[in-house]
Amino acid sequence: LLFCFWVFFPFAFSCFIVVWWLTMGCGSSTPEAAPATGADNGHRRTPADDPAEIGKSNAIDRQLERDRQQDELKVKLLLLGAGESGKSTIFKQMRIIYGTPRSEDDLRMYGVVVRSNVVTAVRKLCQLLKSLDVESQLAGESAADPEDTMSPNEAYELLRAHLIDGNGPPLEEETNGGADWVGHSARAGLGPNNDAKLFLQLWRPIKILWESRTLKEVWQKRAQVNIIDGHKDYLQDVSRIASSSFKPTTQDILLARVKTTQVVMERYRIDGIEFEMYDVGGQRSERRKWLDCFDNVDAVLFVAALSEYDQKLAEARRTNRMIEALELFRSVCNNRAFSNSQTSIMLFLNKKDVFAEKILYSDIAAQPEFKDYAGPPRDFNHGVLYFIQRFKECLISDEQEFKDSFIHVTCATDTNNMEFVLDSTRTIIMTDNLRRSGFLGNG
């Protein structure tokens, strides 16, 4: 027993000393903080006290303020309106007047679209000719050009077989010259490229049929099948469009119809002010995308086609196009995003040239939707004033004001007309912005 005591006691005592030292000595001690010295005045130095960091922070603040001021000066324009009213044409005019020239890739794409547009128009005309039951009139006609070896009736039968029935004989592609400059454009899409190829195979019968007296009569009833009015210029110039050296002109581009299926934005710097213009699709199926563009809009340019008073919607065959435009305008004017005083709404009554031609043979009062029209028939001014009043009646609130200076009667394909209109619109918007900001009086 004595032996065990002398063996284990020193070992146990050593363990006790080690544990006591760890808990009471090392474990509770912490290094003393270094005393504060002079420049810190008793406080730790932080990044905020560093002159270099302060300089960087101030520079960032100044840049943020410049960006904010620049953003306040930026003008956001939103083009709204029903489909085929001319919004995209106005969008293209902005680029012609204030933007950069088109690239060759753009021109090739538009070349395909132009040729495709011709085929689309002729396809609809052939369908209309058949539905009007005037095919027999073609049988007695001769080609307008004595050098043409095909009669208008033969041209119609060939076109109908290929463009409607789909059972025409094989064709060879024929350009009016050598190698074709336009060629194929992937940007235009499969359908337009196929139609452009058909155009090069069928341009001669298209020309012969277009020059016939019967088709001139059918053209006046084009509203029944919603043919683009401006494509008459293409049909009158088929030989040029079929030429191997064909390169679309500015006017060709303005008349070209490409359905807008997404929001498109372009920026322009005009007199030191940055403008953002947004173009959107006008068909009913595309309007759900409009909401994404409604924030911080300075001005809405609402486009309605005067000439569509006797036409129906492509997507709703029983709905008058002008009635659709009026209802759409009503909803835009009374939308909470625009009904405040921060957004100017400009009305562009477009296609005045087509309207002036159409009222000579299509009476406004003959349309059930506009039977209350009391002005003289075939009178341009009375017709325009009637539709201006109809649009003004869309304003629900008595507090809403729609100045005559905010209404423009336009021809979107006329660059001179649009340059004047867009310049006037820009001045009105900038003046309105200054007035809302308090820099001008309320007068």
**Is position 224 annotated as part of the catalytic site?**
no
Task: Give me the catalytic one of 89, 93, 343, 413.
Answer: 89
89 is catalytic: yes
Tell me if residue 84 is catalytic. yes
Taking CA atoms, 163 is separated from 1, 205, 232, 305, 315, in Å, by 120, 12, 19, 29, 22
130 class by beta-carbon count within 10 Å (0-12 exposed, 13-18 middle, 19+ buried): middle
Q: Which of 95, 257, 330, 436 is catalytic?
A: 257
Question: Does the annotation count 271 as an active-site position?
Answer: no
Adjacency order of strands within the sheet including 264-270: 264-270, 273-279, 75-80, 299-305, 344-350, 407-409
Report CA-CA distances (Å) from 268 to 97, 260, 272, 292, 425: 10, 20, 10, 21, 15
403's CB contacts (< 8 A; 6+ apart) are: none
Using left for φ > 0, alpha for ψ between -120 and 50, and beta otherwise, residue 248 falls in beta
Tokens 């199926």 found at: 285
**Spatial separation of the C-alpha atoms in residues 93 and 396, rounded to whole Å:** 32
Bridge partners of 268, per DSSP, are 275
CA distance 108 to 186: 10
- Quick check: is 283 catalytic? yes
* CA terminus-to-terminus distance, the chain: 116
CA distance 434 to 324: 34
What sign does the dihedral 347-348-354-360 (CA atoms) show?
positive
**What are the angstrom distances between the C-alpha of 310 and each of 72, 226, 304?**
43, 10, 13
**Looking up tokens 């840049």, which residue turns up?**
63
| List of E strands, 8-74 | none
- What's the chain's length in residues? 443
127, 283, 319, 415: which one is catalytic? Answer: 283
- Active-site residue among 180, 211, 252, 279? 279
Distance CA 94, CA 96 (A): 6
The helix (run of H) or strand (run of E) holding residue 341 is none
The three-point CA angle 373-377-383 to 5° equals 55
Which uninterrupted H or E stretch holds 439? none
Which residue numbers are catalytic?
84, 89, 257, 279, 283
